[in-house]
Amino acid sequence: MKNFRTNRLTAERLNESHLADLVALHLDAEVSRYLGGVRTPKVTKTYLDTNMAHWDQHGFGLWTLRTKDGVFAGRAGLRHILVDDVDEIEILYALKREFWGQGFASEIAAAMTDVGLSHLKLPSLIGIVNVANGASRRALEKANYLLERSTIRKGEEVVIYRIRR
Ligand SMILES: CC(C)(COP(=O)(O)OP(=O)(O)OC[C@H]1O[C@@H](n2cnc3c(N)ncnc32)[C@H](O)[C@@H]1OP(=O)(O)O)[C@@H](O)C(=O)NCCC(=O)NCCS
Protein backbone atom coordinates (compact mmCIF):
# COMPACT_ATOMS: atom_id res chain seq x y z
CA MET A 1 0.00 0.00 0.00
CA LYS A 2 1.96 3.01 -1.29
CA ASN A 3 -0.33 5.67 0.13
CA PHE A 4 -3.07 5.74 2.74
CA ARG A 5 -4.94 8.20 4.89
CA THR A 6 -6.03 8.39 8.50
CA ASN A 7 -8.44 10.93 9.95
CA ARG A 8 -5.80 13.65 10.08
CA LEU A 9 -2.75 12.34 8.21
CA THR A 10 -1.72 11.25 4.74
CA ALA A 11 1.00 8.62 4.38
CA GLU A 12 3.15 8.52 1.24
CA ARG A 13 5.70 5.87 0.30
CA LEU A 14 9.19 7.11 1.12
CA ASN A 15 11.00 8.65 -1.85
CA GLU A 16 14.07 10.77 -2.60
CA SER A 17 12.18 14.05 -2.34
CA HIS A 18 11.72 13.44 1.42
CA LEU A 19 15.42 13.76 2.24
CA ALA A 20 15.43 17.37 3.52
CA ASP A 21 12.45 16.76 5.85
CA LEU A 22 14.05 13.60 7.22
CA VAL A 23 17.41 15.33 7.74
CA ALA A 24 15.72 18.07 9.79
CA LEU A 25 13.72 15.51 11.80
CA HIS A 26 16.81 13.44 12.62
CA LEU A 27 18.81 16.53 13.66
CA ASP A 28 16.32 17.27 16.47
CA ALA A 29 17.92 15.90 19.64
CA GLU A 30 14.57 15.42 21.41
CA VAL A 31 13.10 13.45 18.52
CA SER A 32 16.27 11.35 18.26
CA ARG A 33 16.65 10.78 22.00
CA TYR A 34 15.40 7.17 21.86
CA LEU A 35 16.40 6.58 18.24
CA GLY A 36 20.13 6.26 18.79
CA GLY A 37 20.88 10.01 18.89
CA VAL A 38 20.97 12.72 16.22
CA ARG A 39 21.96 11.64 12.73
CA THR A 40 24.13 13.64 10.33
CA PRO A 41 22.67 14.45 6.88
CA LYS A 42 24.99 11.82 5.42
CA VAL A 43 23.69 9.12 7.77
CA THR A 44 20.11 10.12 6.99
CA LYS A 45 20.83 9.85 3.25
CA THR A 46 22.01 6.27 3.82
CA TYR A 47 18.89 5.68 5.96
CA LEU A 48 16.71 6.92 3.09
CA ASP A 49 18.48 4.71 0.55
CA THR A 50 18.22 1.67 2.81
CA ASN A 51 14.52 2.22 3.44
CA MET A 52 13.70 2.85 -0.24
CA ALA A 53 15.47 -0.45 -1.01
CA HIS A 54 13.30 -2.11 1.66
CA TRP A 55 10.20 -1.02 -0.28
CA ASP A 56 11.63 -2.41 -3.52
CA GLN A 57 12.46 -5.71 -1.90
CA HIS A 58 9.41 -6.27 0.31
CA GLY A 59 6.58 -4.12 -1.06
CA PHE A 60 6.18 -2.18 2.19
CA GLY A 61 8.34 0.03 4.38
CA LEU A 62 8.37 3.61 5.58
CA TRP A 63 5.87 6.33 4.79
CA THR A 64 6.23 10.09 5.12
CA LEU A 65 3.41 11.64 7.10
CA ARG A 66 1.74 14.95 6.30
CA THR A 67 -1.17 16.81 7.73
CA LYS A 68 -4.13 17.35 5.42
CA ASP A 69 -2.70 20.76 4.47
CA GLY A 70 0.55 19.14 3.31
CA VAL A 71 2.84 19.96 6.24
CA PHE A 72 5.51 17.31 6.94
CA ALA A 73 4.66 15.74 10.31
CA GLY A 74 7.09 12.81 10.51
CA ARG A 75 7.74 9.32 9.31
CA ALA A 76 6.40 5.90 10.20
CA GLY A 77 6.54 2.40 8.87
CA LEU A 78 6.70 -1.37 8.97
CA ARG A 79 10.10 -2.91 8.50
CA HIS A 80 11.98 -6.20 8.74
CA ILE A 81 14.32 -6.42 11.70
CA LEU A 82 16.42 -9.20 13.18
CA VAL A 83 15.75 -9.68 16.89
CA ASP A 84 17.99 -12.32 18.47
CA ASP A 85 18.41 -13.88 15.00
CA VAL A 86 14.64 -14.04 14.39
CA ASP A 87 13.23 -12.14 11.39
CA GLU A 88 10.46 -9.89 12.73
CA ILE A 89 8.43 -6.98 11.37
CA GLU A 90 8.59 -3.88 13.53
CA ILE A 91 6.29 -0.90 13.61
CA LEU A 92 8.00 2.47 14.00
CA TYR A 93 7.10 6.14 14.06
CA ALA A 94 8.72 9.50 14.74
CA LEU A 95 6.95 12.83 14.67
CA LYS A 96 8.16 16.41 14.53
CA ARG A 97 8.07 17.87 18.00
CA GLU A 98 5.32 20.39 17.31
CA PHE A 99 2.97 17.46 16.59
CA TRP A 100 3.54 15.61 19.86
CA GLY A 101 0.78 15.22 22.41
CA GLN A 102 -2.13 15.38 19.96
CA GLY A 103 -2.77 11.68 19.44
CA PHE A 104 -0.97 11.44 16.08
CA ALA A 105 1.24 8.49 17.11
CA SER A 106 -1.81 6.59 18.35
CA GLU A 107 -3.61 7.37 15.09
CA ILE A 108 -0.79 6.22 12.81
CA ALA A 109 0.08 3.18 14.96
CA ALA A 110 -3.49 1.92 14.70
CA ALA A 111 -3.61 2.54 10.94
CA MET A 112 -0.25 0.85 10.21
CA THR A 113 -1.19 -2.11 12.38
CA ASP A 114 -4.30 -2.54 10.25
CA VAL A 115 -2.21 -2.28 7.07
CA GLY A 116 0.24 -4.87 8.41
CA LEU A 117 -2.21 -7.43 9.73
CA SER A 118 -5.25 -7.02 7.47
CA HIS A 119 -3.81 -5.78 4.19
CA LEU A 120 -0.31 -7.34 4.13
CA LYS A 121 -1.52 -10.39 6.11
CA LEU A 122 1.61 -10.39 8.26
CA PRO A 123 1.30 -12.91 11.11
CA SER A 124 2.55 -10.55 13.80
CA LEU A 125 4.11 -7.14 14.37
CA ILE A 126 6.41 -5.98 17.14
CA GLY A 127 7.29 -2.63 18.65
CA ILE A 128 10.71 -2.17 20.23
CA VAL A 129 10.71 0.76 22.64
CA ASN A 130 13.16 2.23 25.11
CA VAL A 131 11.77 1.35 28.53
CA ALA A 132 11.58 5.06 29.42
CA ASN A 133 9.69 6.12 26.26
CA GLY A 134 6.28 6.31 27.91
CA ALA A 135 4.41 7.96 25.02
CA SER A 136 5.53 5.35 22.50
CA ARG A 137 4.70 2.50 24.87
CA ARG A 138 1.26 3.93 25.47
CA ALA A 139 0.64 4.35 21.71
CA LEU A 140 1.37 0.64 21.22
CA GLU A 141 -0.79 -0.38 24.16
CA LYS A 142 -3.68 1.68 22.76
CA ALA A 143 -3.26 -0.17 19.44
CA ASN A 144 -3.65 -3.47 21.37
CA TYR A 145 -0.01 -4.58 21.43
CA LEU A 146 0.89 -6.75 24.42
CA LEU A 147 4.09 -6.47 26.41
CA GLU A 148 6.18 -9.55 25.59
CA ARG A 149 9.55 -9.07 27.27
CA SER A 150 12.35 -6.69 28.06
CA THR A 151 15.87 -7.00 26.71
CA ILE A 152 19.03 -4.99 26.05
CA ARG A 153 19.48 -3.69 22.52
CA LYS A 154 22.41 -1.54 21.39
CA GLY A 155 23.25 -1.09 25.05
CA GLU A 156 19.80 0.24 25.98
CA GLU A 157 17.04 -1.35 28.02
CA VAL A 158 14.05 -1.85 25.71
CA VAL A 159 10.68 -3.52 25.90
CA ILE A 160 9.18 -5.55 23.08
CA TYR A 161 5.46 -5.42 22.40
CA ARG A 162 3.64 -7.72 19.98
CA ILE A 163 0.31 -7.99 18.22
CA ARG A 164 -0.81 -11.10 16.31
CA ARG A 165 -3.26 -11.38 13.44
C1 LIG B 1 6.77 8.78 20.81
C2 LIG B 1 5.96 9.71 19.92
C3 LIG B 1 5.83 9.09 18.55
C4 LIG B 1 4.58 9.91 20.56
O5 LIG B 1 3.80 10.67 19.68
P6 LIG B 1 2.49 11.47 20.16
O7 LIG B 1 1.73 11.79 18.92
O8 LIG B 1 2.89 12.56 21.04
O9 LIG B 1 1.71 10.36 20.97
P10 LIG B 1 0.16 10.41 21.32
O11 LIG B 1 -0.28 11.84 21.41
O12 LIG B 1 -0.56 9.49 20.41
O13 LIG B 1 0.17 9.85 22.81
C14 LIG B 1 0.28 8.51 23.10
C15 LIG B 1 -0.14 8.26 24.55
O16 LIG B 1 1.01 8.42 25.39
C17 LIG B 1 0.65 9.21 26.51
N18 LIG B 1 1.87 9.82 26.98
C19 LIG B 1 2.47 10.95 26.57
N20 LIG B 1 3.62 11.14 27.24
C21 LIG B 1 3.74 10.10 28.09
C22 LIG B 1 4.72 9.72 29.05
N23 LIG B 1 5.82 10.44 29.24
N24 LIG B 1 4.51 8.58 29.76
C25 LIG B 1 3.42 7.83 29.56
N26 LIG B 1 2.45 8.13 28.65
C27 LIG B 1 2.63 9.26 27.94
C28 LIG B 1 -0.39 10.14 25.98
O29 LIG B 1 -1.14 10.72 27.03
C30 LIG B 1 -1.21 9.21 25.10
O31 LIG B 1 -2.05 8.37 25.86
P32 LIG B 1 -3.62 8.72 26.05
O33 LIG B 1 -4.20 8.85 24.69
O34 LIG B 1 -4.12 7.55 26.82
O35 LIG B 1 -3.67 10.02 26.81
C36 LIG B 1 6.63 11.10 19.78
O37 LIG B 1 6.90 11.59 21.06
C38 LIG B 1 7.91 11.04 18.97
O39 LIG B 1 7.91 11.18 17.76
N40 LIG B 1 9.05 10.83 19.70
C41 LIG B 1 10.35 10.76 19.02
C42 LIG B 1 10.54 9.49 18.23
C43 LIG B 1 10.28 8.24 19.04
O44 LIG B 1 10.67 8.13 20.19
N45 LIG B 1 9.59 7.28 18.40
C46 LIG B 1 9.26 6.01 19.00
C47 LIG B 1 10.40 5.11 18.98
S48 LIG B 1 9.95 3.51 19.66
Position 58 scores a pLDDT of: 98
The CATH number of 3-164 is which of 3.40.630.30, 3.40.50.300, 2.60.40.10, 1.20.1440.130? Answer: 3.40.630.30
Q: How confident is the model over 41-53, as a mean pLDDT? A: 98
Pocket residues: Cβ below 6 A from ligand 1: 31, 34-35, 93-95, 100-106, 129, 133-136, 138-139
Q: How far is the CA of 127 from the centre of ligand 1 (A)?
A: 13
Instruction: Name the pLDDT band for 25 (thresholds 50, 70, 90).
Output: very high
Position 64 scores a pLDDT of: 98
Q: How confident is the model over 131-154, as a mean pLDDT? A: 97
In tens, the pLDDT along 72-130 reads 999 999 999 999 999 999 999 999 999 999 999 999 999 999 999 999 999 999 999 99
Q: How far is the CA of 40 from the centre of ligand 1 (A)?
A: 25
Whole-prediction pTM: 0.96
Strands (E), 15-165: 62-67, 72-83, 86-95, 124-130, 146-153, 156-164
Nearest residue to 9 via CA among 107, 100, 102: 107
Position 1 scores a pLDDT of: 87
**Which atom number of ligand 1 is nearest to the Cα of residue 107?**
12
Going by alpha carbons, the residue nearest to atom 31 of ligand 1 is: 138
Q: How confident is the model over 41-46, as a mean pLDDT? A: 98
Q: How confident is the model over 8-28, as a mean pLDDT? A: 98
- Helix (H) or strand (E) run with residue 4 in it: strand 3-5
Instruction: Name the pLDDT band for 155 (thresholds 50, 70, 90).
Output: very high
In tens, the pLDDT along 48-75 reads 999 999 999 999 999 999 999 999 999 9
Q: What angle do CA 57, 60, 2 make, to 5 degrees?
A: 120
Cα distance between residue 46 and residue 9, in whole Å: 26
